[in-house]
């Protein structure tokens, strides 16, 4: 079965296949959105950062250097002298701008990075010119010459830097427009490609789904047809297990096994019914034991010859009662009271014959005497107690038969203090009673009773045996406490 395909896996694969287009489309759109967002974010950050120096940077540099020339002092001294005046350190501004554009250089494309290199070079030149003008204003004090240097160097360079920054912003804006156009083209191409792939995928998915559906529908249709055939009483249909997927293979195998078991059960039930009829036939044949009858008649004749007519009449009466109960007008079940009378008649007859070695006691509760019991349930057990227990013992022995109501069951006990059995003999008898061994002549009567009880009442009822060597044997019989003689157990 290891090479057999699993239906669950195929269904799971079919479900996964239905999710693939959605997942691919979602991932594609997510990647495109993420890429575009990052690109836009980079451009916007570049423009925002550059824009900080496109407006106020020139005015702050120009004003600081103008105050330095006009006051013939360094910018640092002016900042300390006029703290409330908005004078900024030009070198700090230039250094901040240089660091900012160095950072933008790594984030920009090649063309824009070239523009940033120009801005950085101009910033270096501006720093050098500012230092030269500041030094000249402090050392020489020539106002006109210093103003000329300021106009020709500082103002022009700051103007150039501002223009280059504007050019950089323009280039970044143009990159944004190109990015938007590229995004549009990518989205269009992606949608066309996705649509083409989706069409082929749908064709493949539909074909695969139809195949999976057929692998489910066809076996179920065959199973339904086979079940309908079985419902008519024909158990011959079998499913082709090898053509099914793993799970349906198990179902088909179980179905075939079930039909085979049903056929076997029907055969067994039929055989059990035949065996039951055979057991009952053997039992009825054994009911009129010729030896028992001959021995009893011989005893009656001996009593007559001994001029003991009263005892002979009693024997005839007991024999008549015994066979009356045995026949019971063809009934299978009799009352416990009738069964009691039956074994009493049997024991009375045997007591006359074996009065030197046999005594007995029968004790049934009154409340169980109206209950029903299978005919000839206790007599074979009593007979076994006499012939295999008491007669095998030296000296006199006794048989005690009791009947008690325990819960919803009637429990009978036939106990003797005869020779008993060894442990291995007890186990052998138990196996014989439950049909686990053959050739048990001595235990056939008990086996017969056990089978009849189980077939009529169920496997929870029956016989149990306990015995000790040279101490005796006790046989218990458990049957349901019923009063309806038509009750039968249906296996």
pLDDT in tens, 206-228: 776 777 677 667 777 777 777 77
The 8-class DSSP code of residue 108 comes to S
Of 240, 237, 236, which Cα lies nearest the Cα of 253?
240
CA distance 198 to 473: 87
Chain segment 97-126, per-residue pLDDT in tens: 888 888 777 666 777 788 888 888 888 888
Would you put residue 244 in left (φ > 0), alpha (ψ -120 to 50) or beta? beta
pLDDT value for 210: 77
Rounded alpha-carbon distances, angstroms, from residue 183 to 23, 29, 111, 176: 21, 11, 20, 10
**What's the rounded Cα separation, in Å, for the pair 187 and 30?**
12
Q: Contact at 8 Å (CB) between 389 and 420?
A: yes
Do residues 222 and 243 make contact, with C-beta atoms less than 8 angstroms apart? no
Task: List the structure tokens of 292.
Answer: 């028992």
- What is the SS3 string spanning 379-441? HHHHHHHHHHHHCCCCCCEEEEEEEEEECCEEEEEEEECCCCCCHHHHHHHHHHHCCCCCCCC
Question: What is the structure's pLDDT at 488?
Answer: 39
**Sequence-ordered list of residues with C-beta below 8 angstroms from that of 248, at least 6 positions apart, any chain:** 7, 215, 216, 219
- Count of CB atoms situated within 10 Å of the CB of 486: 8
pLDDT tens for 288-299 read: 566 677 777 777
Pair 340, 382: CB distance under 8 Å? no
pLDDT at 301 (0 to 100): 81
Question: Residue 47 to residues 100, 118, 158, 430: CA-CA distances in angstroms?
Answer: 12, 17, 19, 102
Residue 410: per-residue pLDDT? 95
CA 286 to chain CA mean position, Å: 57
Return the beta strands (E) in 265-396 as ranges.
Answer: 333-335, 358-364, 372-374
Domains of the chain, first to last: 7-205 (1.20.120.1730), 288-480 (3.30.565.10)
Tokens of 410: 């009637």
In the predicted model, residues of the chain with pLDDT beneath 50 are 1-2, 281, 285, 485-491
**Distance (Å, rounded) from C-alpha 213 to C-alpha 195?**
26
The single residue listed with the structure tokens 């919803």 is 408
Q: What is the pLDDT of residue 2?
A: 47
How far is it, in rounded angstroms, from Cα 209 to Cα 82?
Answer: 85
**Are 435 and 451 contacting, i.e. CB atoms less than 8 angstroms apart?**
yes
Q: Using alpha carbons, list the distances in angstroms from residue 109 to 104, 172, 173, 175.
A: 10, 9, 12, 9
Give per-residue pLDDT as tens, 123-141: 888 888 888 888 887 776 6
Using alpha carbons, list the distances in angstroms from residue 120 to 109, 301, 475.
16, 149, 117
What are the structure tokens assigned to 96, written together? 């901040």
What DSSP element (H or E) covers 468?
strand 462-468
Number of other residues whose CB lies within 10 A of the CB of residue 453: 22
Angular region, 245: left φ>0, alpha ψ -120 to 50, beta rest: beta
Residue 285 has a pLDDT of 47
Query: Residue 464: what are its φ and ψ, rounded to 5°?
Result: -135, 150
């Amino acid at each position: 079965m290891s090479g057999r395909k699993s239906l669950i896996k195929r269904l799971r694969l079919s479900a996964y296949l239905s999710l693939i287009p959605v997942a691919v489309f979602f991932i594609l759109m997510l990647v495109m959105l993420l890429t575009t967002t990052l690109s836009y974010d980079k451009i916007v950050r570049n423009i925002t950062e550059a824009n900080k120096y496109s407006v106020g940077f020139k005015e702050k540099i120009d004003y600081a250097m103008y105050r330095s020339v006009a006051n013939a002092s360094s910018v640092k001294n002016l900042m300390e002298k006029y703290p409330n005046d908005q004078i900024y350190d030009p070198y700090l501004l230039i250094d901040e701008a240089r660091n900012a554009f160095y950072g933008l250089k790594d984030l920009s494309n090649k063309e824009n990075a070239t523009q940033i290199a120009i801005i950085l070079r101009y910033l270096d030149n501006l720093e050098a010119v500012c230092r030269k003008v500041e030094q000249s204003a402090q050392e020489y004090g020539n106002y006109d010459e210093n103003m000329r240097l300021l106009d020709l160097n500082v103002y022009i360079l700051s103007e150039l830097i501002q223009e280059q920054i504007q050019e950089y912003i323009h280039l970044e804006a143009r990159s944004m427009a190109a990015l938007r156009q590229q995004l549009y083209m990518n989205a269009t191409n992606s949608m066309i490609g996705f649509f083409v792939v989706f069409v082929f995928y749908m064709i493949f998915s539909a074909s695969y789904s139809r195949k999976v559906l057929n692998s489910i529908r066809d076996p179920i249709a065959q199973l339904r047809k086979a079940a309908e055939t079985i419902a008519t009483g024909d158990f011959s249909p079998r499913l082709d297990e090898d053509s099914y997927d793993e799970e349906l293979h198990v179902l088909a195998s179980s179905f075939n096994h079930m039909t085979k078991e049903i056929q076997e059960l029907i055969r067994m039930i039929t055989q059990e019914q035949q065996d039951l009829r055979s057991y009952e036939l053997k039992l009825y044949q054994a009911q009129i034991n010729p030896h028992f009858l001959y021995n009893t008649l011989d005893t009656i004749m001996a009593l007559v010859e001994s001029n003991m007519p009263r005892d002979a009449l009693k024997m005839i009466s007991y024999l008549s009662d015994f066979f009356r109960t045995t026949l019971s007008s063809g009934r299978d079940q009799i009352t416990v009271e009738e069964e009691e009378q039956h074994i009493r008649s049997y024991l009375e007859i045997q007591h006359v014959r074996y009065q030197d070695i046999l005594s007995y006691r029968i004790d049934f509760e009154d409340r169980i005497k109206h209950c029903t019991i299978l005919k000839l349930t206790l007599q074979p057990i009593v007979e076994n107690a006499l012939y295999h227990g008491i007669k095998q013992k030296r000296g006199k022995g006794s048989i005690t038969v009791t009947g008690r109501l325990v819960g919803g069951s009637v429990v009978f006990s036939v106990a003797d203090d005869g020779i008993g059995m060894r442990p291995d003999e007890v186990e052998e008898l138990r196996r014989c009673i439950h049909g686990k061994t053959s050739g048990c002549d001595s235990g056939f009567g008990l086996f017969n009773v056990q089978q009849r009880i189980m077939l009529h009442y169920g496997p929870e009822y029956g016989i149990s045996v306990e015995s000790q060597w040279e101490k005796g044997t006790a046989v218990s019989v458990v049957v349901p406490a019923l009063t309806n003689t038509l009750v039968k157990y249906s296996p």
